[in-house]
């Protein structure tokens, strides 16, 4: 077990944008004795989880549950509906869009990347007009899928998925819509069926409040139909065997039994709070966090107010400040973990997660730690972000 040189008293404040804090109820459920994953008790659990997770994605269609991270779910989404050499249109919004794109290239897909013209694409959400314009030029329908990130965890940008669907439809293009909502599901509003998404990718460790280890593919009827004629060789990721086994509450391979206990508990907790209440809570905490950032005189990485994320806030630091030194100070001095800047904004930004099992006092503690650390870094805020957030939340 990892041993630290110094004991840090009190609780650890985990405010990275995932993995998010795991509630005690879920931790206790995960600690239940492991059962036979082929026995009747597990079949009942499996059926309840399979049906319950549909409510979280707001779909009537099947949701594939993998024992995997979100990265595995990325791959599962691609290999079931695309063949090597197929052309795929990716929209760049940040590091995770780029990583998904890189994975696609390793699978042999023909990737084309688009973004907001004449802008730093890492500071804006998806511009659906760019996608529509590109699809209109694809008169031979070479593009088989459009891949976008719903909530870009590296930049704090949440894109309008409805607008992307409308852009594809306006171009009268048959491309599938595949969406990464690894950090969005359970925290930001998401409607798989209503928004016309063909495959939604997600993971357990963000809004669902679980440890890492479960990946999801929410499907559409069209995606399932396309998968039946797909030629890509696959085994573990194949939807067909999983869908067949799921009919009776089981999986063709060994599932993460104890994480399934936790998922069952998470679904119960979320249904008790209500999805609309969850979305409103996240929006409220995010608004308070942004007010704090403004009061400090710092800049939100996102420049589009319509795309501010309810999941996290990515804060660009002033020229000359090392964001990672700030993060090091918050951890060592206040036992507070903040998210690092990723990719091309590493050292230039830090991220405050306010997702999952987070409330007003949790956020206020994080903002206090950031404000004190800014002072320790020699930065004098314009005003107190803590007071600004407190006034809003009160």
Q: What is the mean pLDDT of the chain?
A: 96
Question: Does residue 4 have a pLDDT over 80?
Answer: no
Q: What is the pLDDT of residue 2?
A: 47
- The count of other CB atoms within 10 Å of the CB of residue 271 is 13
Mean pLDDT in residue range 273-302? 98
Pairing of strands 349-353, 312-316: antiparallel
- The count of other CB atoms within 10 Å of the CB of residue 155 is 33
Q: What is the pLDDT of residue 7?
A: 64
Mean pLDDT in residue range 365-372? 98
Q: pLDDT category, 131, cuts 50, 70, 90?
A: very high
Q: What is the pLDDT of residue 51?
A: 98
Q: pLDDT category, 3, cuts 50, 70, 90?
A: low
Distance CA 167, CA 148 (A): 13
| Domain 24-271 CATH (choose: 3.10.350.10, 3.40.50.2020, 3.40.640.10, 3.40.50.300) | 3.40.640.10
Q: pLDDT category, 265, cuts 50, 70, 90?
A: very high
| Residue ranges of domains in the chain | 13-21+275-393, 24-271
Q: What is the DSSP string of 69-126?
A: -HHHHHHHHHHTT--TT-EEEEE--SHHHHHHHHHHHHTT-EEEEE--TTS-GGGS--
Q: What is the pLDDT of residue 5?
A: 58
Q: What is the pLDDT of residue 15?
A: 98
Share of the chain above pLDDT 90, in %: 96
Q: What is the pLDDT of residue 367?
A: 98
Mean pLDDT in residue range 95-102? 98
Provide the whole-model pTM. Answer: 0.96
What tokens were used for 392? 């809003």
CATH number of 13-21+275-393: 3.90.1150.10
Q: What is the pLDDT of residue 322?
A: 97
Q: What is the pLDDT of residue 6?
A: 64
Q: pLDDT category, 361, cuts 50, 70, 90?
A: very high
**Cα 373 vs. chain centroid, distance in angstroms?**
27
Q: What is the pLDDT of residue 50?
A: 98
pLDDT digits (tens, 9 = 90+) for 370-385: 999 999 999 999 999 9
182: helix, coil or strand? coil
């Amino acid at each position: 077990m990892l041993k630290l040189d110094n004991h840090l008293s009190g609780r650890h404040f985990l405010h990275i944008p995932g993995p998010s804090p795991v509630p005690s109820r879920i931790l206790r459920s995960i600690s239940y004795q492991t059962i036979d994953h082929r026995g009747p008790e597990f079949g009942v659990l499996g059926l309840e989880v399979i049906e319950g997770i549909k409510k979280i994605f707001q779909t009537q269609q099947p949701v594939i549950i993998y024992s995997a991270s979100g990265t595995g779910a990325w791959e599962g989404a691609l290999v079931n509906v695309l063949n090597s050499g197929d052309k795929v249109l990716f929209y760049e919004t940040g590091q995770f869009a780029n990583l998904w794109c890189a994975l696609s290239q390793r699978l042999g897909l023909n990737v084309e990347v688009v973004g907001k013209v004449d802008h730093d694409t890492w500071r804006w959400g998806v511009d659906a007009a760019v996608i529509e314009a590109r699809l209109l030029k694809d008169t031979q329908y070479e593009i088989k899928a459009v891949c976008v990130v719903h909530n870009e965890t590296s930049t704090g940008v949440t894109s309008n998925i409805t607008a992307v669907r409308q852009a594809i439809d306006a171009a009268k293009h048959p491309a599938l819509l595949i969406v990464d909502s690894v950090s969005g599901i359970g925290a930001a509003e998401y409607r798989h069926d209503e928004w016309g998404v063909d495959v939604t990718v997600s993971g357990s460790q963000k809004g669902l409040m679980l440890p890492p280890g479960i990946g999801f593919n929410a499907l559409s009827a069209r995606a399932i139909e396309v998968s039946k004629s797909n030629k890509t060789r696959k085994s573990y990721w194949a939807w067909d065997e999983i869908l067949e086994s799921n009919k009776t509450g089981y999986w063709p391979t060994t599932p993460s039994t104890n994480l399934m206990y936790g998922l069952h508990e998470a679904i119960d907790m979320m249904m008790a709070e209500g999805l609309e209440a969850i979305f409103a809570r996240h929006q409220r905490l995010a608004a308070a966090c942004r007010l704090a950032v403004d009061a400090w005189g710092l800049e939100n990485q996102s420049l589009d107010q319509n795309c501010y994320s309810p999941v996290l806030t990515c804060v660009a630091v002033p020229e000359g400040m090392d964001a990672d030194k700030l993060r090091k100070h918050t951890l060592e001095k206040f036992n507070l973990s903040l998210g690092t800047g990723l990719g091309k904004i590493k050292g230039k930004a830090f991220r405050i997660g306010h997702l999952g099992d987070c409330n007003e006092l949790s956020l206020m503690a994080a903002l206090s730690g950031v404000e004190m650390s800014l002072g320790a870094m020699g930065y004098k805020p314009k005003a107190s972000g803590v007071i600004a957030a407190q006034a809003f939340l009160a």
